[in-house]
Amino acid sequence: TIAARATGLTKTYGQGTAKVVALDAVDFEVVQGEFTAIMGPSGSGKSTLMHLLAALDTPTGGTVHIGDTDVASLKDTPLTELRRDRIGFIFQAFNLVPTLTARENIVLPLAIAGRKVDQDWFDRIVDVLGLADRLTHKPSELSGGQQQRVACARALMNRPDIVFGDEPTGNLDSTSASEVLSFLRRSVDEFGQTVVMVTHDAHAASYADRAVFLSDGRIVDEMRGASQEDL
């Protein structure tokens, strides 16, 4: 099953002599239950591709499907619902709400959606992430690694179709990075989660099933089951 598909996906910024082709007619599929790393040098179009796949931005050309849904066909309300209900995000800078506790941050997407917390699911995720004794802490009382694990729990709380990570380990020391990456790997293996992660780090990408390489807005290579040394 295809969790997301980009067809002829193009994004340009600016006009005339200032025009930048960030993404150039990219065809790309994300298979359900797979962990994909998007790699490539700075400026190659990784963030642009991820933001378009996550329905956070509008392409200049081509289409994005999330499951069977053509994102461009959605009006504001169903688009908001798609982002809220079917997609989870993990950001480089954690993006937790500083005034809320870890628990409140984790359940915030559900609270916004007016949904009840599935306590078994909450307990399971929190247990796997080793956050049980941190739930009443505010982000400022947590280490960077703990904050990103809270963000991981938040991203999975509504059981999204796809979790997108934008350099999720970019601000972490190597131990914390490994904890986050192990969790993402485990979410794929144990919960069947689909994960797409932008990274320029070979260690991070080695946790993925597949690495896709971008250069100048095009996919130039793809590898499966690559080790850190291959990447």
Find the binding residues for ligand ADP in span 165-224 (CB under 6 A). Answer: none
CA 137 to chain centre: 24
- The residue among 1 and 42 lying less far from ligand ADP, judged by its C-beta, is 42
CA distances, 107 to each of 47, 102, 125 (Å): 26, 9, 12
46 contributes a contact to ligand ADP by CB under 6 A = yes
* Cβ nearer to ligand ADP, comparing 27 with 225: 27
Residue 7 has which token pair?
Answer: 């067809």
> In 6-143, which residue ranges form alpha helices assigned H by DSSP?
46-53, 76-86, 102-113, 119-128
The H or E element spanning position 190 is: helix 174-191
Shortest spacing between CB 105 and ligand ADP, in angstroms: 8
Q: Give, as one character, the DSSP assignment of residue 100.
A: S
> Going along the chain, which residue ranges are E strands?
2-13, 20-31, 35-39, 61-66, 69-70, 87-91, 162-166, 194-198, 210-215, 218-224
Asked if residue 44 binds ligand ADP (CB under 6 A), the reply is yes
Residue 13 touching ligand ADP (CB under 6 A): yes
47 binds ligand ADP (CB under 6 A): yes
Q: What are phi and psi of 26, to 5 degrees?
A: -85, 130
Binding mask 77-106 for ligand ADP (x = CB under 6 A): ------xx---xx-----------------
Q: Which of 10, 35, 39, 40 binds ligand ADP (CB under 6 A)?
A: 40
CB of 37 to ligand ADP, least distance (A): 13
43 binds ligand ADP (CB under 6 A): yes
Residue 42 within binding range of ligand ADP, rule CB under 6 A? yes
Provide the binding-site residues for ligand ADP, judged by CB under 6 A: 13-14, 20, 22, 40, 42-48, 56, 83-84, 88-89, 108-109, 154
